Amino acid sequence: MQGWEGELPPPSVRTLADMKSVLQDPTCVAGEEPLYFMYRDVARSGADRQWLRERNLRYDLTVIPPRDLCGEWVKTKGHYHPENAAGVGYPEVYEVLAGRAHYLLQARVLDDIILIAAEAGDLVVMPPGYGHITINPTPDQTLVMANIVSCAFESEYREYESLHGAAYYEQVNGDLVKNPHYPRVPPVRRIRQGSQAGAGRILDGPLYSLIGNEKALGFLNRPEEAAAFFTALR
């Protein structure tokens, strides 16, 4: 796999049928055809995996082949993270390993929506309180990305499913179309990842190289310790 060296476990597969509830056109797809692939809890060595597990962290890979879904770019299903014991939502960090990605973030209170464009080598932080989807906005490139996230919670998909996806659908012509199932949504703020405020002060990639660095990754379980950083992201 481009951007990864080492063995991989069998992937979890998100099928077309799995995605029906979050698509702009739910009649577009049917059946169990694979749409994207998720490799959970991977590591290049037993020592790396042990370090992650001792800190309740997980390194994952996701592979999203290009696809036009009846005029909408292929995307992940979308989810929110719950709050930790300190009352702060768990964050997550992604890295694009190959291809290009659009990360569409939405505040849970729906007062802020951000589209972050990222390329290979970029790291993107999902702040507390923001749901997110990943879009492969290309006709011919497979998107490969990594993430590190806390294992202390289960992702929450219900809101995306009940509202038929994120607040906007990204079209293959580049337009962002409002999801009519949301009562109201703000305009989208567009950010090029290289300008994501404050990101360089907390994380420098490659993402895998941060395994073993408690100072860099501790905020994934204790986001309350990085409040100033997350304020800068807004």
Tell me, yes or no, whether 130 lies in a domain: yes
Tell me, yes or no, whether 1 lies in a domain: no
What band does 199 get if pLDDT is binned at 50, 70 and 90? very low
Range of the domain at 135: 12-233
Residue 20 zone, left/alpha/beta (φ > 0; ψ -120 to 50; rest): alpha
pLDDT at 203: 78
What band does 32 get if pLDDT is binned at 50, 70 and 90? confident
Average pLDDT of the chain, as a whole number: 92
pLDDT at 222: 96
Please, which residues bridge with residue 63 across strands? 37, 144
Tell me, yes or no, whether 4 lies in a domain: no
Extract the tokens encoding 99.
């291809």
Please, which residues bridge with residue 170 across strands? 176
pLDDT at 121: 92
Residues 217/146, Cβ–Cβ less than 8 Å: no
Tell me, yes or no, whether 71 lies in a domain: yes
Question: pLDDT tens digits, residue range 90-107?
Answer: 999 999 999 999 999 999
Question: pLDDT tens digits, residue range 110-146?
Answer: 999 999 999 999 999 999 999 999 999 999 999 999 9
| Rg of the chain over all Cα atoms, to the nearest angstrom | 17
Residue type, 156: E
Domain count, the chain: 1
What band does 205 get if pLDDT is binned at 50, 70 and 90? confident
Q: How far apart are CA 148 and CA 57, in angstroms?
A: 7
Torsion sign (Cα): 61, 148, 133, 189: negative
Tell me, yes or no, whether 3 lies in a domain: no
Tell me, yes or no, whether 148 lies in a domain: yes
Whichever domain contains 63, its CATH number is: 2.60.120.10
Tell me, yes or no, whether 120 lies in a domain: yes
Tell me, yes or no, whether 117 lies in a domain: yes
Region 203-232: what's the mean pLDDT? 89
Strand order of the β-sheet with 12-15 is 12-15, 34-39, 57-64, 143-150, 92-98, 123-126
pLDDT at 198: 44
Question: pLDDT tens digits, residue range 47-59?
Answer: 999 999 999 999 9
pLDDT exceeds cutoff 70 at 233: no
Q: What is the pTM of this model?
A: 0.94
Region 72-95: what's the mean pLDDT? 97
Question: pLDDT tens digits, residue range 149-169?
Answer: 999 999 999 999 999 999 999
Residues 97-110: b if buried by 16+ CB within 10 A, e if exposed: bbbbbbbbbbbeee
pLDDT at 2: 74
